[in-house]
Amino acid sequence: MNIASILGSLGGPVLVAIVLFVLGIVFRAGFSKSLRGSIYAGIGLAALFVIVNNATATLTPAIQAFAERFDTNLVVTDVGWASAGIAFTWPGLAFVIMATLVVNVILLTFKLTKTMWTDIWSIWHGQVVGGFVWYLTDNVILGVIAAVIFLTIGSWVGDFTAKKYQEFNGMPGISVPCAVSFLGVFAGPVNKVFDIIPGFNKLNASPQNIRKTFGIFGELGVMGTVIGIVIGLLAGYDYAGVLNLGIQVGVLMIFLSKTVSVLCEGVIPIANAVNELVSEKFEDREIYVAVDCAALLGHPSVMASAVIIYPLAVILAIFLPGNGIIPIASLALIPYWCGAVAPYFKGNVVRIVTFTLLWMIPVMYIATHMAPLHTDVMAELGLGDPDALSSSFDMGGDVLGFIITKIFSLFS
378 binds another protein, rule: CB under 8 A: no
CA distances from residue 241 to 75, 147, 148, 389, 398 in whole angstroms, order as listed: 19, 42, 45, 22, 33
Measured from the CB of residue 171, what is the shortest distance to another protein in angstroms?
5
User: In terms of Cα–Cα distance, which of 338, 331, 266 is closest to 301?
Assistant: 338
Residue-wise DSSP of 372-390:
HHHHHHHHHTTSS-TTS-E
Measured from the CB of residue 293, what is the shortest distance to another protein in angstroms?
7
Of 89-97, 131-139, 294-302, 386-394, which part binds another protein (CB under 8 A)?
294-302
Chain positions 220 to 239 lying near another protein, rule: CB under 8 A, are 220
| Contact track, another protein, 297-336, x by CB under 8 A | xxxx-xx-------------------------------xx
Cβ contacts of residue 10 below 8 Å, gap of 6+? 18
Chain positions 254 to 273 lying near another protein, rule: CB under 8 A, are 257, 260-261, 264-265, 268-269, 271-272
CA distances from residue 181 to 133, 167, 186, 273 in whole angstroms, order as listed: 22, 15, 9, 25
Identity of the amino acid at 21: F
Measured from the CB of residue 128, what is the shortest distance to another protein in angstroms?
16
13 binds another protein, rule: CB under 8 A: no
Residue from 26, 105, 289, 399 binding another protein (CB under 8 A): 289
Alpha-carbon distance 308 to 316, whole Å? Answer: 13
Determine contact, residues 301/349, Cβ cutoff 8 Å. Answer: yes
Residue from 64, 121, 241, 312 binding another protein (CB under 8 A): 121
Measured from the CB of residue 365, what is the shortest distance to another protein in angstroms?
26
Residue from 173, 189, 382, 386 binding another protein (CB under 8 A): 173
State which residue, 169 or 368, has the beta carbon closest to another protein: 169
The DSSP symbol for 241 reads: H
Q: How far is CA 106 from the centre of its chain?
A: 27
User: In terms of Cα–Cα distance, which of 390, 360, 293 is closest to 86?
Assistant: 390
Alpha-carbon distance 15 to 26, whole Å? Answer: 17
Cβ contacts of residue 317 below 8 Å, gap of 6+? 74, 323, 325, 326, 327, 364
Radius of gyration of the chain (CA): 21
282 binds another protein, rule: CB under 8 A: no
Q: How far is CA 260 from the centre of its chain?
A: 11
Residue from 92, 218, 224, 401 binding another protein (CB under 8 A): 218
339 binds another protein, rule: CB under 8 A: yes
Return the SS3 of 115.
strand
Of 67-75, 283-291, 377-385, 398-406, which part binds another protein (CB under 8 A)?
283-291
376 binds another protein, rule: CB under 8 A: no
Residue from 161, 169, 348, 390 binding another protein (CB under 8 A): 169
292 binds another protein, rule: CB under 8 A: yes
- Total residues binding another protein (CB under 8 A): 37
Query: What is the binding site for another protein (CB under 8 A)?
Result: 121-122, 168-171, 173-174, 218-220, 257, 260-261, 264-265, 268-269, 271-272, 283, 289, 291-300, 302-303, 335-336, 339
